[in-house]
Each structure stands twice: as C-alpha cells, then as structure tokens.
Structure 1
Amino acid sequence: MTVVNGLRWSHVGLNCRDQKATEEFYTRWFGFARARVVEADGTRVIFLRRDQVYLELFPSSAEPIFATVADGPQHPGVARHLAFQVDSVDTFLDAAGDALDITLGPLAFDAFIPGWKTVWVKDPDGVVVEVSQGYTDQDPAELAGYA
C-alpha cells in the first residue's frame, strides 16, 4: 500500500438549507466552533472546526434526492452518516432531552464489542449523525482471517 507522506483527514462539506441552524446544531451538540467564513461569487461558506476535524457548510436550496433510512441513505456514492464518539450515549441523550430528532436507537452491540452503544440523530438538513460509545478495533490476528 502506498501512503502519501503528510496525508491526513481534512473535512466534510455539507449542503445546508439554513447555514445558521446547521452551524448551531454542530456547535451545540458536537463542540464545533466557527473557524473561517469565505465569500466567493456571492456564496458564503462557513468552516467549523473541532480539534483537527472540519465541516464546511455550503448554502443550498435544492431538495434532497435520496431517501434516508434510520441510519442514513443507502445509495452508492452517498455518505451514509457522520459519526462521533462520546464517553456515554446515555449522558449525551440526557443532555439533549427532546431537542434531537432520533432516527434509530439507542442500540447496544455488546454481542460484538462489550459496551458498544449507538444512537442516530438527524441534523437540521436531514443528515444522519451517529453517536457511539465503546467502539474498539478488532484484534489484528482476528482480522487476518477475513479476505
């Protein structure tokens, strides 16, 4: 495998019906903060940052074209969902109260990883966001058995 020196994750660009509502959602629930605003050709793009992760918020008046199921759209070439890790899904949900649109869960996946629990919510534009606790990678020796 060839890895380009210095390669690292950069960002996800999101199309937003209401940039302000989308910015408030990711700021309030996931700790992002405005890092930059760019105006080009009459379009405002808002950059949000949390640690080394960025979200670019683009204005859009287009209607969604993909049907979404509880954990995200299932169309090839379309991201299924964004995902974040928390220490406790229950604490996250307690803090949210009724403010979040839960699409699925919370579900426990203890049969795969003890303590793995996930809930899926929608952002203001219908993007599904997964919130999990307890995920860990599989032992490399076990992975060798999968082709």
Structure 2
Amino acid sequence: MAMRRKREKKRKKARFSRKMRTKSVTFGGKKLRVEESRISELEEIVGKLFPESKGKITDINLDAFMGQIGFDLFYDKIPVLFPGLTVDDVKNAYPSEIEALLEAFLDVNFSGVKKLIGPLMNLLQIGIAQPGTPLAGSPQK
C-alpha cells in the first residue's frame, strides 16, 4: 500500500513539474539554445521591441513597425530578443539563420498558442453556423 502511494505521488509530481521548452540553432557560427520565456519576460521583451506599447501586445503599432523594415531592424531587434548576440553576429548571419532563430523563438514560446488556435477557430465557425443564424453570403429569407 505504501509503495502504491509513492508511485501515485511521483506520477502526480511528474504531471505538474513540466520543463520549459528549448531548441538549439546555429546563428552566425554560434550554437544557441533558445529557451521558453516566462510571461513576465515576454511582456518585458514586447516593451523593449515596441516601446510605445509599454509591454501590451494590443498597443503595438504595426504601421510604425512596417515603416522600419530594413537591415537596421534586424540589427536593432534581434539583440533585444537574444541578448547574447551582437550587431556583428547579425551582420555575419545568413538570412536562413535569422529565419531559423525566429522560428525557434516562436515555436518555443508560442507552440501552445498555435495548437489552440485551430480548435478555437473551429469552435468559432461552429458558433457562427448555428441553426437560425444566416451565414455571410447566404440569401436572407
């Protein structure tokens, strides 16, 4: 009986002691380990990347961001996301390495969100298509 309780306790502990996600990528000749960030850290990163937002995703001005598109954007923003990297590291990286680095960041920090979006969209579509609710583009009776 005591052994059974110990096993149950271990299983319960294992379920709740999840480790953070990580991915390894090579960038500008450096091997980097991209680690999952805490929500407070992500909020701080958003505040540094988009100062006008003060860390609130909903207050990001995408028009102003799109006006900054260019190499300077990479030199300014990548070291904010990855403090171990310098402007010279970014200048010496291949575009495919920048893509892999940003993909790793998104996968590590937002893979759960990506998994939830599909089912949420399905629920929204089901809710919209309820009987008695006309679909967009359908003729009205």
- State TM-score, norm by structure 1: 0.22
Structure of higher RCO (CA pairs closer than 8 Å, 6+ residues apart) = 2
> Which structure shows the bigger proportion of residues in strand conformation?
1
When Rg is computed on C-alpha atoms for both structures, the one with the higher figure is: 2
- State TM-score, norm by structure 2: 0.22
